Structure 1
Amino acid sequence: MSVWDSIVGQQAVVEQLKTIAAGDPRQIAQSWLICGPPGSGRSNMARAFAAALESPDHGMDDEPTKVTKQVLAGTHPDVSVLATDKVTIGIDQVRDLIGVSEQMPSTAPWRIIIIEDVDRMLERTTNVLLKEIEEPAEHCIWLLCAPSAQDVLPTIRSRTRIVNLAVPSAAAVAGYLEKSVGAEPKIARRAARLAEGHIGIAKLYATDERVMTDRDELVVGVLNLHKASEAVLLAGTLNANAKAQADVDVAAQAAREESDFRRVNGLGPADRIPPNLRGAYNAISKKDELKRRATRRSRDVLDRALNSIASIYRDVAVLQNNAEDAVGLINLENRAAITDLASRMPRAAAIERLDEVATARRRLMGNGNPLLVFESLFCALIF
């Protein structure tokens, strides 16, 4: 497995970064901004680039080195990753990273700092980071990730080398699913099409039948909205499914973390936790932390639902503008119902419904009550 095998549909960028990683270290930029839409693989690209920079083979060999495996697994001592499931990245987290960045690397050529979702920084936090990005420590490389350069303050943007990722093609994503998770070609192609280029969602669709079924039921439900009572029921079902999926995901994550904690500390599944480790162990399944994770995961599920809803009216607009041959339909399984809707709905009404989805997304991001947000949205979609 090569360093770059997890990168999907970004061949031009891969070749560019391969050349840079294998080139003269004195010519390598030390502050980077890797941009790409959600699901394009910007975090994976940052990790792969870090592995190529740190590994003796610079990621050129098909067989990964020990260093490569460590970087990709998140266990290399000279590569630090800041990821958050909170709304913003805290200023103390950034200050801690700055302290790390000024240390000499212990085993590798570089001390590398990866910050996912740098767009989640408040301006005062960004200002703390600014000086380090402008004048990095001699042996440090910063790899920042964001949806687009416009999502980052100009002061950061102007001091980094920008790498832009494209939306991977459905064919590239399907090929990745067949290779990485062993998905059958038919399932891989459908998952890639429905995910609209989002690699993580495509993988979820290809491996979790319940998630795919929930999406199918949501699309059918939206296409059959005729009364306010149906809108309220559909909103309740969607929110209940999101909560249930979030609870299952968070419980599974906590179980994995508890298992990893025991393994790292040499404890078996049934061994008692020593008193000096009990605080750290209990923090993994702390009630408030699990609740916070579940809330965030539930919002992710609902955000994915908004993408699915928007895809219906995108398909309506495609048919109304005779553009199917050029761009295709996303919801092929519902083609008959969408064709009927496209024939009855004015073009302006389709655009208005896409605007309603965008409004619902803003409300959800603003911590609006999810049930009320979707009740309002589904009532607005009735036709």
Structure 2
Amino acid sequence: MSVWDSIVGQQPVVSQLSAIAAGDPAAIAQSWLICGPPGSGRSNVAKAFAAALESPDHGLGDEPTRAAHLVLAGTHPDVTVLSTDKVTIGIDEVRELIGMSEQMPSISPWRIIIIEDVDRMLERTTNVLLKEIEEPAEHTIWLLCAPSAQDVLPTIRSRTRIVNLAVPSNAAVTRFLEQHDGVDPALASRAARLAEGHIGIARLYAGNDQVLADRDELVVGVLGMHRASDAVLLAGRLTDSAKTQAQSDVDRQAQQDEREFRRVNGLGEKDRIPPKLRSAYHAISKKDDLKRRATRRTRDVLDRALTTVASVYRDVAVIQNNADDAVGLINLENRTAITELSVRLTRRDAVRRLEDIATARRRLAGNGNPLLVFEALFCALLV
């Protein structure tokens, strides 16, 4: 098992970064932008690259070294990962990273800072980061992650070395689910197909029956809409479900954070929090932070729903263009209803509906009211 074993369907990139990690340290670029569509594994690639850079064997051994294990576990003292479950990355968080980047590494060759979803930074926050990206400290490497180079400011793009990831194939995702997670082959194949190359969503579908059932229900609901009342009811069910799922996820994470805080500080489940620890304890469950997490999680659930809806009209277009044998259907279980819909719609109608879905995605990203966005979308999809 090497540091790269968790990377799915990215062999060219793995070969490239593996060779760089094993090369001359003086020739290694110190600012990177790792780009890939959601679910392509860009954060995992950044962590594996960091593990190879910090490891004495440069990640070439059959088994990860202790340094590599620490990086992959998120406990290496010289590797910092900034991830966020909020809508944006705050300027104070970035300033803290910059201060850390100036420090010498403690046990390894490099101080490495990974920023996931750098596209979530506002422009003024990105500008604070810019100088450090342009002139990093001598022993610091920055690994930034984003869906694409176009999602970050041109000033960042021009000062980083860009690595582009591919969408993993269904076969590669299926193998990963079977070998890494022990998923039944039939379920692994279906989860990979429905996830459309998104590894995280494939694992979610394979491991959560309710999420998979919700997806099936949404597809059936879209295909069964005939009146405006159907569209309005479906939009209401979807947004209510997204909020409930998001709040449940946030509450569960807050409970896990509390348990971890108690464990780290040697406190039992019912022990009182000592006065000197109370401010840190309350910081993990601040109402404003929990609200922002719930908002971000709701958006993620609704964004996944839009991808599901788009897959229906993608399948319609595939059938209309006789491309089934070449690229296959995503929603195989709904082939009959999708075929019937492909007859009722023209090719232009199918394309317009995909454009309507893209418009809804932009409205959500612009803080549009989710219920109104989906009501408008589903009404626009009616035949």
**Bin for the TM-score computed over the shorter chain:** over 0.9
Per mean C-alpha deviation after superposition, the further-off stretch among 343-352 and 284-293 is 284-293
Alignment of 1:14-29 (within 5 A): 14-29=14-29
Q: What SS does the aligned partner of 1:254 have? A: helix
| SS at 1:113 equivalent | strand
Kindly provide the amino acid, as one letter, of the partner of residue 234 in structure 1: L
Structure 1 gap segments, 5+ residues each? none
1:156 maps to: 156
Deviations 1:319-342 (A, max 9, x none): 000111111110000000001111
| Deviation of 1:283 (Å) | 2.3
Q: AA paired with 1:224?
A: G
Structure 2 residue 304 is the aligned partner of structure 1 residue 274: no
Q: Deviations over 1:343-373 (max 9, x none)?
A: 1211111111111111111111111111111
Q: How does 1:139-218 map to 2 (within 5 A)?
A: 139-218=139-218
How far, CA to CA, are the matches of 2:87 and 2:250 in structure 1? 17
Q: Structure 1 residues 19-28 or 312-321, which shifts more?
A: 19-28
**Matched letter for residue 315 of structure 1:** D
Residue equivalent to 1:369: 369
My pick for the range that moved more, 313-322 or 252-261, is 252-261
Q: Could you tell me how far 1:124 is from its partner in structure 2?
A: 2.6
Q: What's the secondary structure of 2:155's corresponding residue? A: helix
Matched, 1:10 2:10: yes
Cα deviation for residue 253 of structure 1 reads 0.8
Number of the residue aligned with 1:305 = 305
Deviation, 1:317, is: 0.3
Number of residue pairs matched?
383
Q: Within 5 Å, which residues of 2 pair with 1:1-383?
A: 1-383=1-383
Tell me how far apart the structure 1 counterparts of residues 138 and 292 of structure 2 sit (CA, whole Å). Answer: 38
Q: 1: distance between equivalents of 2:299 and 2:158?
A: 32
Q: Secondary structure at the match of 1:273?
A: coil
Report the secondary structure of 2:343's partner residue. Answer: helix
Deviations 1:49-74 (A, max 9, x none): 00110111211223222211211121
The more displaced of 276-285 and 187-196 is 276-285
Q: Secondary structure at the match of 2:258?
A: helix
Q: Residue 100 of structure 1 aligns to which amino acid in structure 2?
A: M
Range moving further from structure 2, 308-317 or 151-160? 151-160
Paired amino acid for 1:76: H
Preserved CA contact (<8 Å) 2:55 2:68: yes
- The C-alpha deviation readout for 1:290-344, integer Å capped at 9, x for no partner, is 2221121111111000000000000000000011111111000000000111112
Structure 1 window deviating more from structure 2 (285-294 vs 19-28): it is 285-294
Counterpart-to-counterpart distance in 2, 1:87 and 1:301:
13
Residue identity in the other structure for 2:362: R
Taking the aligned partners of 2:34 and 2:311, their CA distance within structure 1 comes to 27
CA distance in 1, matches of 2:362, 2:252: 29
Aligned letter for 1:27? Answer: A
Higher mean Cα deviation, 157-166 or 304-313?
157-166
TM-score by length of 2: 0.97
Residues 263-304 of structure 1 deviation map (CA, whole Å, 9 limit, x = unaligned): 111222232221211222222223332222112111111100
Is contact 2:86-2:295 (8 Å) kept? Answer: no
> How far off is 1:116 after superposition?
1.2
Does the residue aligned with 2:305 lie in a helix, a strand or coil? helix
Aligned partners of 2:87 and 2:292 also within 8 Å: no
Q: 1:132 is aligned with what amino acid?
A: E
Amino acid of the structure 1 residue aligned with 2:25: P
Shift of 1:121: 2.2
Query: Against the structure 1 CA distance between its residues 314 and 305, is the aligned structure 2 distance closer, same or farther, given a 3 Å change threshold?
Result: same
CA distance in 1, matches of 2:270, 2:151: 47
> Where does the alignment leave 5 or more consecutive residues of structure 2 unmatched?
none
Q: Deviations over 1:174-219 (max 9, x none)?
A: 1111122211010011000001011111110000000000000000
* 1:27-62 alpha-carbon deviations (Å, 9 max, x no partner): 111111111111101011001100110111211223
Q: How far did 1:246 drift? A: 1.0
CA distance in 1, matches of 2:270, 2:175: 41
Give the partner amino acid of 1:69.
H
Question: Which SS does the other structure have where 1:380 is aligned?
Answer: helix
Look up the SS of the partner of 1:80 in the other structure. strand
Residues 91 and 247 of structure 1, relative CA distance in 2, 3 Å threshold: closer
CA distance in 2, matches of 1:86, 1:286: 13
Q: Larger deviation: 270-279 or 223-232?
A: 270-279
Partners of 1:297 and 1:122 lie apart in 2 by 19
> Match for 2:317: what amino acid?
A
Q: State the alpha-carbon separation in 1 of the partners of residues 368 and 154 from structure 2.
A: 30
Aligned-residue identity in percent: 77
Which segments of structure 1 move beyond 4 Å, counting only runs of 4 or more?
none
Specify the SS of the correspondent of 1:33. Answer: strand
**Structure 1: how far apart are the matches of 2:284 and 2:119?**
27
Counterparts of 2:121 and 2:174, CA distance in 1: 34
**Cα drift, residue 101 of structure 1:** 0.8
Per the alignment, do residues 158 and 138 of structure 1 end up closer, same or farther by CA in structure 2, a change over 3 Å counting?
same
One-letter amino acid of the counterpart of residue 225, structure 2: L
